[in-house]
Homo-oligomer: A and B are copies of this chain.
Amino acid sequence: MAQESQVAPRYLSGDKPALREFLDKFDVFLFDCDGVLWSGDHLFPGTVETLELLRKNGVSRNAMSVQQKLTNGLGKQVVFVTNNSTKSRADYRKKLEGLGIPSTVEEIFSSSYSASIYISRILQLPENKRKVYVIGETGIEQELQSENVQFIGGTDPAYRRDITPEDYKKIAAGDESLLDPEVGVVLVGLDFHFNYLKMALAYHYVKRGAVFLATNIDSTLPNSGTLFPGAGSMSAPLIMMLNQEPVALGKPSQAMMDSVEGKFKFDRSRTCMVGDRVNTDIRFGLEGKLGGTLGVLTGVSSKEEFLTGDVRPHAYLDKLSDLLGSE
């Protein structure tokens, strides 16, 4: 599956020349967030300063004096790439702000936004099949609205109820009061109000020809220091019933990389993915043939995984703020 990086990753923490050399190779840094910039509600020390160093002013590093670098930053494009589908980009910017990280909506790329772009700009849907049946929360709805995509389901209270004997008959008969004939896409994200009726409807829409999409297929979601069901837990029953995988729009899916590239028009060879998880973040960068991948040891994957796993970053750090050691 993953394109393997066979060379042992380079350890950069505390090695100023190696850090400088590494940073000079890239114009764009894609950041995973939880486990890299913060953990749960805890912002890692130095996160804000590191981001400031990387991004300020858009001035190329070579043209700057050391003083300018410290004052103006390195002029890199910074993108926050998150699989969180329950929040819109605007919600996510508020979350970053709440943690003390200045950012703009334009710097944020979420799986719900990725899915919305995929539906509106990449999928070629017939005119009478452009509605989306949503399993998910408000973040997905907001991003679909931002791309002028019509949808049903989602947070609509009409779907938050038990299935009835009438429903079985109506669904079997393809009754339009329950199965909208204009639905051409089923989009499944994390839904805290998931239920039997929603599952049954999603199954029948796909059986009737709708495209099966998932914002992301992470099986778990971190919360309060432990794990809870993730968006993948809403897709899992459908995958089993349909014997079909969804097109997933979150990391490590390359559909997300295509969407990010479509928006930021970057040069992949001068782009680096930064993350804590080999099987999502690092794989995402490697399969996307980015110029670099940078692992950090403040999240899920261990040093041993970085050094001897099937999927290895090009370089790694103890923590993100070790990048400050480049100056």
Contacts and interface: CB of A to CB of B under 8 A. Distances in A.
Nearest to A226: B172
A193 B161 CA distance: 9
Copies per assembly: 2
Given A168-B228, A236-B236, A236-B237, 12 more contacts: A168-B224, A171-B224, A171-B226, A172-B224, A194-B195, A194-B199, A199-B233, A200-B228, A232-B237, A232-B240, A233-B241, A236-B240
A64 interface: no
A150 interface: no
Interface in A188-232: 191-196, 199-200, 203-204, 219-220, 223-230, 232
A162 interface: yes
A162 B193 contact: yes
A195 B199 CA distance: 11
A234 interface: yes
Contact of A236 (B162, B195, B224, B239): B239
B224 A169 contact: yes
Contacts of A171: 224, 226, 228
Nearest to A200: B228
A300 interface: no
A131 to B, nearest CB: 22
Given A196-B192, A196-B194, A236-B236, A241 B223 contact: no
Contacts of A162: 192-193
Given A223-B168, A223-B172, A241-B229, A196 B193 contact: yes
A239 B229 CA distance: 11
A163 interface: yes
Nearest to A239: B236
A72 B195 CA distance: 50
Interface of A: 162-163, 168-169, 171-172, 191-196, 199-200, 203-204, 219-220, 223-230, 232-234, 236-237, 239-241
A199 B193 CA distance: 12
A238 to B, nearest CB: 8
A162 B200 CA distance: 19
A196 B225 CA distance: 18
29 contacts: A163-B192, A168-B224, A169-B224, A172-B223, A172-B225, A172-B226, A192-B196, A194-B194, A194-B199, A195-B195, A199-B229, A200-B228, A203-B227, A204-B226, A219-B237, A219-B240, A227-B241, A229-B237, A229-B241, A230-B241, A232-B237, A232-B240, A232-B241, A233-B237, A233-B240, A236-B237, A236-B239, A236-B240, A237-B237
A237 B232 CA distance: 7
Nearest to A237: B233
A204 B196 CA distance: 21
Contacts of A192: 162-163, 196
A239 B232 CA distance: 11
Contacts of A224: 168-169, 171-172
